[in-house]
Structures are given as structure tokens and as C-alpha cells.
Structure 1
Amino acid sequence: MNPLLAVENLCVSFAGQHAVDAVSFELNAGECLALVGESGSGKSVTARSLLGLSGGRVSAEKLVVCQEDALTLTEPAWQKIRGSSVVMILQDALMALDPLRPVGREIEDVLKEHGTLNRAARSTKVLEALASVDLPDPERRMKQRSTQLSGGMRQRVLIAQALIGDPQIVIADEATTALDSRLAALVLKQLAALKDEGRAVLMISHDLAQVAQLADRIAVMRSGKIVESGTTEQILNHPQHEYTRTLLRAIPSGVPRFAPLSTKAITSEPRQLPPTDPDATPALVVENLSKSFSRHPAVIEAGFVLPRGSTLGLVGESGSGKTTTARMILGLERPDAGSVTLLGERFAPHGEAARRNLRENIGAIYQNPLGSFDPRYSVGQILTDALSAGRSKRGSGYKDQVARLLEQVELDPDLSGRNPRELSGGQRQRLAIARALAPEPQVLVLDEPVSALDVSIQATVLDLLDRLQQETETSYLFISHDLSVIEHMSDLVAVMYQGRIVEQGSTAEVFGDPQHEYTRSLLTAMPRLR
């Protein structure tokens, strides 16, 4: 049997620098190969080369795609097989789909490009494609725009768009990374069905726990090279390369609270949740918070208590109400009903003037730190602004404090003159943590703070947050759709579903003996390596 993909000594360079260096692999029908590694390792450039879209200078001893010699294909020839014989499912569905057009029209474009069906027949086929990926109410959804769909729905639209041309090869580039465990499991199930149908699946991911659910073989990439490859069982259970072992150690699933994930972690004595003191004032008390938008309930009577020095993990799928709850707690959204008490004093629904004296006691860290920084400010100016409560951007009197903050989050003080755009993703997230710590808050709200990071960088950030909590006894409200992160980081867990908190308790209780059906469905779908 001839492989559908045959790659031998593939090199892709940009301005004379190799992004992919002597990469070789094969992929057969009915098989899944996973390319794993961190951002910048060359995974996506390799994948895009298989569609003639690398954008760089490509050379190889052999590059066969669906029995075509891809090294000799012209752009018109690529257009004939791209979208029909070989397709790619991207990570960011919101960016991949046109927000101004109904999603059904976007899927129909594939049929218009590669077929001769009339309008009615194309519409029927689009409806069938959406139904095949378990999109609820496909007839209504095909008329909606991408911005009207949840993250999981958008991802399934991309899968329907990829499959409608009946491709032989499906490339899934981080297609499940941004999804909660239940939706990710659905997407993985759909990719597994493609493999069972005889299609070849190339899975691009940095998440080895998800890769384990689907891949037959794994190739580990670092700095443009494949450093190790083998069967999934060999790579996950008997890794030979130190980089592979580092990636496996960084996965938080099953790692006890405060146990280090990264090789650089500063180890410390394990800490238990302090005994409950009925007279102690909690860090945060949330009571019966409710919020609706256009008469649609987003949060319904949400409530929980965050003890001082502890972490409460708030978990749920996209659209469950987690971020709206966080915004009400931070005073960025006024609740329709309910209250927030911070360190024993009412914080919401008071106006900003009434809570100004409490504002420095609560901070926030977001998923996309770059979007939360003023692009005109340097690292030092961002921290000076936070240290001075907005009174100064350039005060020389804050130079030593800026340096101490950077050192606290393990960044070089020499970075203070840089613009955040010059920093890596992990460095930007550390800067966001430093900014949040500047006023010395007693409560931090962390909204998906590591979901955009590679697993090894995620590990160093999680270890850093653990260390800082032990040193400062700051209380964390940790929001995430990633159950493995929540399990590792949290003393307490609250589960949100359709705007309500349906279950809460200690991490051991919720993960060990879930009571609500939704919690059980999340945990069943949670990928584990340990």
C-alpha cells in the first residue's frame, strides 16, 4: 500500500533560516500520526507545507501528497487538491470563519469551488455535513454567523467544512486545544471516526494527553527537527529523549497539589488547606449572583466562598457563565441580583466610588495578556503604572520596585525597557502576573491564565503561581475549562453549567465522587496519562 503522505528530508526556510529541518515521516490511510511539540517547533509550518501554504522556501527529497508529487505542483494544481483531497482544521475557528457571512455559505464555497452541484443540492449537502458533526439544530445554525455560535459549535463547523469535499487526508492543527474536555472529546471522537472510515489524520498538538486518545504514532518536534518518533505506547510510556520526558512531566493531570511540574520549579513543603475557622473572614463571598443579557440568563444565582490563602477552581464549558461571573466579582459588570463581599466588606453591586478603597485588594490575570497591555507602554511603564495606581508611567522612584517585581516572577529586570510585543508568550504571562501583584492584592481572579500556553511553559507558570501563593498567601479564583489544571491547582472546585453552579466541594470530593451528571460527563471526557 502506498502511503497517502510521504515526506523525506523536508526543509522549509524563511530568510535563510530553517523553520523545518530534514523532517521525514509517512502516513497511511486509516492511520493517525501526531506531530507534537511547543510553539515554534515547526509543527504548523510542516503541516502547511502539505497544502502548499508554507510561505517559505521548500525543499525535500520526497514530498508526496495523495499520490501527487507536491514538489512539482503549480498553484492551480494545488487549488484542485486543497480542500478536496487534503484539508486542514485550524485551532482558531473565530478567525478562520468570516464573521459577516452565515456559516452555511462558507461551507458551500467548498462545493462551489470543487463541484458542479446546483444551489439546492449544495444547501442539502451543507445541512447533512453539519448534522454529521452533531451540531444541534443544523438548519438554524447554518443561517447564523460564526459570532452567534459557541466555541465548540464553531469548531464543528470547521470540521464540517473540511469534510464536505470528502478528503483523503485531514490535518487537525490544534483543533481541540481551546475546547473544554467534553467538547474536545466530541471533536476527538469525530476525528477517530474519520480514521475508521479510512482517511489519514495528521494531528498537530502540544497536548500529549489528548494525542493519546487518537494517535497511532507520535513524532516529537523541537527546533524544526523530529527528535523522537514511535508508536504512541512507546513515546508515552518509554520516552527516550529528554525533551519528550520534559513534555510528559509538564502535564498536570494526576500531579498532586503543589508538586512541581517543571524541571525549574522551586520545590517546597506540601501545604494543605487550612482548617476551617468559623470566625475567620473569607477572602471572597459570592451570593446569588445573577446576570442576563437581552433577557437571556448568563449567570443564575451563583454563589461560593473562597477561604483566605486558598484556591477555588471555577470550571465549565464555553458559555457556562464563568467569565461573566468573574467580571461581576471584579466590579466590571453590574449584577442584576446578588452580592460580592471582599475581605468582609461589600464590593458589589456598589458603584466604583464606593469600592475604590477596596480595589487594590483584588486583581486579575487574563488569558490574553498582550490584549490587556497598553501597546504604547514598555514593561517598566506597565509596572510603574500598576505600582502608582495610574499616577505615573515614568517615575524613576519606582525603578527598584519594578526590578523586584520582575525578579519575583522570574523575569530579568533588564526587560523593563522592552515592549511586551518583544516578549514570548510565557514572558508576557509572567508580566501580567507581576502587574497583578504590584498593588499586593489579597485576592487574584485568574481567567484562563494558561490556556494559550504550550504545556512546558504552562508548567512553569503554574509552578510560579504556586510559589507566589505560598509566599504571599494570596487567595486565587482560578477559572479554566482544563480539568487537569483545575485538579492540580485547586483546593476547592465549583462546576458551572448553563449559568448555574451545579456542584462544589473540595477537589478530592468533586473529582473523586462527582454528584451531578454534568460533572460526571466532564470527568469522563477528561484525558489522562497518569
Structure 2
Amino acid sequence: MTVLSVRNLSIDIPTGDGFVHAARDVSFDVGAEELFGIAGESGSGKSVLSKAIMGLLPGALISGEILFEGRNLLDLPARAMQQLRGNRIAMISQDPLSSLHPFYTIGAQIVEAIRTHRKVSEAEALKEVIDILGRVGIHDAEKRVHDYPHQFSGGMRQRVMIAMAIVLRPALLIADEPTTALDVTVQAQIISLLNQMRREFGTAIIMVTHDLDLLSSIADHTMVMYAGNRMEFGPGEAVLTAPAHPYTLGLLRSSPSQEKRGALPSIPGQPPSLLLEQKACAFAPRCPAAMAICRQERPPLRTFADGTQSLCWLEDKASNTAAALAPVPAEPAALVAQRDIVVSAKDVRLTYGGRSLFGRRINLEVLKGVSLELPRGTTLGIVGESGCGKSTLARIIAGLLPPTSGEVTIEGESVVDIDRARWIEMRKRVQMVFQDPFGSLNPRRRVGSIIGDPFRIQNIAHGIERKNKVRELMEIVGLNPEHYNRFPAEFSGGQRQRIGIARALALKPSIIIFDEPVSALDVSIQAQILNLIGKLQREMGLSYLFISHDLAVVRHVSSEIMVMKSGQVVERGETETLYHNPQHPYTRELLAAADPHYRKTGGGLADALGQGATP
């Protein structure tokens, strides 16, 4: 049974610069119990479609039809749409913390959602809340229902959002990046939960995500969007394993999930401005297989034997872009002196003092004797679930947090208990690049000032000399030096991350610590940043500590991987050896959770585990 039918939907959003053509002639159907995936780069129209279905685009010019359970949502009055929203159509937002009110308990917030749409007492609603929290895996729901959002981990907050979305048994659930920035094990739990809910309640799910590998293993059907156009559509596995459109293939080849080393073949260029109406193929300026007709006329919709549809002039699916997108040859690895250790940590421990309980002081041991060595010019990947101590260890190495005990040396010099003047000097050698490129940049300062801060703080360069150094850094990381006076908001996500990298390079450090630097980026932008990181390492002999929950990314960039659990190192080894032959049960669990194909086929790692397809 079809729950949602979108027909020839076009969306134009008025702005001060003109109309943004956010969607053009988009059509698709979603059936009961179906998981429908929408993929594409930022600005492709994914979230705009979701908002249009939810009726959250006031002032937009929308044509076409959005038929939900037989009714056209575009014709409904605002009051009727309010009754549907949250009741029959629900949404899970990407950031659960900002979507939950910090002043109210989670129970009060879900009770409010229930009582808004149904006439039940507060006690009855609370009973339903406790039941649904238990269903989504919140243990001790009777007690946790009275807790506040900040008392939950990221995965638990996402479960709360799912509970709020499904408590009224909606017919349609829109999940906007529900697993972005979650650990692989938590991600697997969330996906399992969504699958359980749609089969139990018959709910149709639209999942918006940039994780193509995940989507290929769970989506019944997938739609790939670009510049507001539906470029490809079809069965999820067919679209994301044997794509018909060059754009889909470009996205897949940008992903580090495949077994490939060297530079990732990222899609060149940038998406077009949506202020300009596209008369021909929107992807033609970036397509390596573009023909003359692609730049002159809008392409036809082609249907292939496996059920996929492609908006493209290319007729042959099997060879559409194979020659044009030839594999990128692996670049030679940097020659490094393996015995030259730039970072050494020995038996590092960190204990936080807790509150007194029954006259005894309770201490929380965060790091429990962690040791590591980082050879010059290499990358050590650090993986593990949230709370395992990865970022805490990074802050200790960066000098932002003193350890309780243990020894940390940088290029042979101890960083523990040194005086302030010596530490300021040593800080030049260690820099960090953070997960959120926008949150780590001051929005009120110009990019030139931001990148020039290390020179100012260390009193190294002034005036024209500093300006020239900043422009040189911008050129090194692939930014236009002419954009020196722009603000961070005027750059894309990938460009903002380049700004953060330029700032980290300013003082010519020996070590750069990357803390989840690409987790929130589209795969095409992610590929550009990973290529840049590798290029800088080869050219400048940099040493990296690379922290990420994405094991595919860590595998691509790291020569060695260290696995942490509960403040301890449980396994460390050469990347490919550890990936193909993990020794510790926790490492096997992480890898099984990270690769949905292992879970789906029961092969590879699942065979090694001897437990089918379940992590």
C-alpha cells in the first residue's frame, strides 16, 4: 500500500537575490513498511523535500502534488496540517540535543507530544512514554523518564527522539541524518531499531543521509538528488552498487569504504547556484563523461533492466563512466624514519574526583594506563565508542589537560609539569583540527584574521608579512587567497574545514591531531579533505593522530590503528592486518557494526565471528 506519493514536485524559495529553485519535477512513491533512502550532496534538495512534506516551507512556491494517504498535503489548511504533523507524519532531526528542550525532562516533552494530539490524562500519557522508552532501548525507563536531555549520551538522545516520533504510531517517519556522528555500534542499534519499528507498526520511513554504504544495505528504494533534480532512482542495492548515473558513481567512488589507497577520486568543482534555472543537465559542468548535448538540452529519463531510472543522456549503464572515471593511481608513501618517534605516551592515567557517597569519595577513572608511540610522518588512527577516552587522550597530548600520572613526550621532551613559558613554545609543535568546522571558527571574524591568529599569539609575523603568510596558507589548502576578507559563513562546509587546517599549519607543527574532521561532510567533500590531509603529510612530513568513529575513513588514512575501550587500549596493529584479522572481540564487534555488508551477507568478518549477520 502506498503511503506517500510525490508527483512532479517543484519548489521555488524566494530570497533577497531571487528565487532558489530547490526542487524540480521530483516524483517518487513510498509504501508501508518501506525504507526509502534519499542521498546527495549538501544543497541537493534532500532536506527541502522533507520540509515540504512536513509543511514547513512557509512562503515557498510549490507546484505538483504530495499525496499522503490519498490527500494532497499542499491543499490542506494550516490547522489540518498541524493535526497531521507529529501524529501521522513524524520527523527525527539530525541533532537530538538541539531538538530537545534542555529545561524539561524527556518524559514531559514526550507527554506533551501525546496530549497535543490525543485526549488522555497525564498519568496515562506518562505510562505510554515509559513503555515506548523501553521499546527503544532506554533501560530503567521508569527512572530515566524524569531525566533531562544532558543526562543522556548522544545515542540515547537519538533513541529519545525516535521514541517521541513513533509514540503516536505515525504512518510516515522522516529520519534526517539519524546516525550522523554516532559510533558504529550505536548506529547499528539505531538502524536495527528503525527496522523493528517499521515492521511492528507498518511505518514507512524516509531516510536522508550521506552514508551511501549504509543506505545500500538497508534501503528498499533509493533516490539520488543533485541541484534539486532526481538524478537516479531505483532499488537501493541496484542504485548504490551498480549505478546508472555518473553523479551516483562519483559519490560512491569518493567514499573511502572501498579497499583502495592513495588519493580518493573526488568529484571536481562545486554544485551550481540554484538561483539559476538549469536548462540542460545540471551535472554536466562536473561530469567527466559529458557530451555536447548534455550542455544544451535537459536529459531524458532512462529505465534499465534492474529497475533503476537515470536522468542522463548516456544509454549504456555498464560503461557509462567506467573509462572517464579511471582509478586514481596510489601516490607513493612518504619515506619516514620509523625509529624517529615524535609522540610517546607511557602509562597515561586520568582520574576525575567525584562526589562523596556515604562518607567516601568516588573517583572516575577515565584513562587507565594508555601507552602509544607515533613515528614521524605516519598516521595513527584511534577508534572506539563515545566515552572510551579518545578525545581525552588527545587533549592530554595537545597540552590542554594534565594527566593524573604517566609520561607524555613530544620529540623527546616531556610535556608533563613543564613551566608555562616552555609549554607555550612547545605548543607550536602540536595543533588540532576539530570536528565542527563552523563551531570552531569565530563567525564574527574574517578568515584572514582567524588563520593569522597563531602568528599573532606567538608574536611571529606582523602587518604585510602576516597577510602574505596567511594567503600562502590559503593557497596551500586549496582556498582562494582573494577570499582573505570573507567571513566563515560565506564558505561551504568543506572550505571551512580547509580554513581550520590552514590555521593548524601556520606554525609548521610536527604533529596535528584530527578529532572527527570529516564526520559531518558529504562524501565528495570528505574525499577532498582526506586527499588534502594525505598530500600535506607527504609534502611536509607531518605526523597525525586521527580520531574518528568512521572505521572506513580511519582505515584509508592510517598506517596503524589503536582501538580503545573504557579508557584502555585493547588492540593495536598495522591497519590492514587489524582490519582483516582482528584479535580482540571488541575490535571484531566494531568492524562488524561498521560494515553493513558483513551484517547483510553474513560473510567476511561475520564468518570469522561465527555468528551470521548480527554484530
Shift of 1:302: 1.8
The residue type paired with residue 91 of structure 2 is: M
2:424 matches 1:425: no
Match of 2:333 in 1: 271
Match of 2:260 in 1: 256
Match of 1:303 in 2: 371
| Matches for 1:121-136 after TM superposition, within 5 Å | 121-136=124-139
Partner Cα distance (1:263, 1:70) in 2 = 36
Shift of 1:189: 0.8
2:204 matches 1:200: yes
Q: Which has the higher contact order (CA 8 A, sep 6+)?
A: 1
Equivalent in 225, 230, 234 of residue 234 of structure 2: 230
Match of 1:247 in 2: 251
Match of 2:6 in 1: 7
User: SS of the counterpart of 2:438?
Assistant: helix
Residue correspondences, number? 526
Identify the range of structure 1 (232-241 vs 182-191) with the bigger mean alpha-carbon deviation: 232-241
Match of 1:209 in 2: 213
| Matches for 1:435-454 after TM superposition, within 5 Å | 435-454=503-522
| Matches for 1:14-93 after TM superposition, within 5 Å | 14-15=13-14, 16-93=19-96
Match of 1:371 in 2: 439
8 Å Cα contact 1:4-1:200 kept in structure 2: yes
Shift of 1:187: 0.7
| TM-score normalised according to structure 1 size | 0.95
Shift of 1:356: 2.3
8 Å Cα contact 1:316-1:496 kept in structure 2: yes
Equivalent in 137, 145, 150 of residue 153 of structure 2: 150
Partner Cα distance (2:335, 2:562) in 1 = 16
Structure 1 segments unaligned to the other structure (5+ residues)? none
Match of 2:482 in 1: 414
Shift of 1:136: 2.7
Identify the range of structure 1 (102-111 vs 453-462) with the bigger mean alpha-carbon deviation: 102-111
User: SS of the counterpart of 2:159?
Assistant: helix
8 Å Cα contact 1:131-1:138 kept in structure 2: yes
Partner Cα distance (1:310, 1:495) in 2 = 17
> In the TM superposition, what whole-angstrom CA distance separates every residue of 1:250-283 from its partner, at most 9, and x where no partner exists?
1111333324242559866332785743xx3x11
Shift of 1:392: 7.7
8 Å Cα contact 1:469-1:475 kept in structure 2: yes
Match of 1:312 in 2: 380
Shift of 1:336: 1.6
Equivalent in 332, 346, 362 of residue 430 of structure 2: 362
Partner Cα distance (1:105, 1:161) in 2 = 11
Match of 2:183 in 1: 180
Match of 2:346 in 1: 287
Identify the range of structure 1 (505-514 vs 180-189) with the bigger mean alpha-carbon deviation: 505-514
Partner Cα distance (1:370, 1:89) in 2 = 23
Equivalent in 463, 480, 486 of residue 554 of structure 2: 486
8 Å Cα contact 1:331-1:352 kept in structure 2: no
The residue type paired with residue 166 of structure 1 is: R
The residue type paired with residue 85 of structure 2 is: R
> In the TM superposition, what whole-angstrom CA distance separates every residue of 1:151-176 from its partner, at most 9, and x where no partner exists?
11111111111110011111111001
Equivalent in 453, 456, 480 of residue 385 of structure 1: 453
Identify the range of structure 1 (466-475 vs 195-204) with the bigger mean alpha-carbon deviation: 195-204
User: SS of the counterpart of 1:50?
Assistant: helix
Partner Cα distance (1:527, 1:354) in 2 = 45
The residue type paired with residue 231 of structure 1 is: P
8 Å Cα contact 1:66-1:85 kept in structure 2: no
Partner Cα distance (1:48, 1:263) in 2 = 27
Q: 1:498 to 1:261 in 2, by over 3 A?
A: farther
Partner Cα distance (2:157, 2:540) in 1 = 41
Partner Cα distance (1:162, 1:260) in 2 = 38
Partner Cα distance (2:500, 2:99) in 1 = 28
Q: Of the two, which has the highest radius of gyration?
A: 2
> In the TM superposition, what whole-angstrom CA distance separates every residue of 1:299-334 from its partner, at most 9, and x where no partner exists?
222221111111001111222221111111111112
The residue type paired with residue 483 of structure 1 is: L
Structure 2 segments unaligned to the other structure (5+ residues)? 269-326, 355-362, 599-615
> In the TM superposition, what whole-angstrom CA distance separates every residue of 1:367-396 from its partner, at most 9, and x where no partner exists?
122222233432222222223445389611
Match of 2:117 in 1: 114
> In the TM superposition, what whole-angstrom CA distance separates every residue of 1:476-505 from its partner, at most 9, and x where no partner exists?
000011111111111111112222222111
Partner Cα distance (1:145, 1:173) in 2 = 23
Identify the range of structure 1 (180-189 vs 283-292) with the bigger mean alpha-carbon deviation: 283-292
Q: 1:13 to 1:496 in 2, by over 3 A?
A: same
The residue type paired with residue 524 of structure 1 is: A
**Identical positions, percent:** 40
Match of 2:406 in 1: 338
Partner Cα distance (1:248, 1:476) in 2 = 26
Partner Cα distance (1:513, 1:202) in 2 = 36
Partner Cα distance (2:62, 2:160) in 1 = 34
Partner Cα distance (1:436, 1:449) in 2 = 13
8 Å Cα contact 1:382-1:393 kept in structure 2: no
Shift of 1:398: 2.3
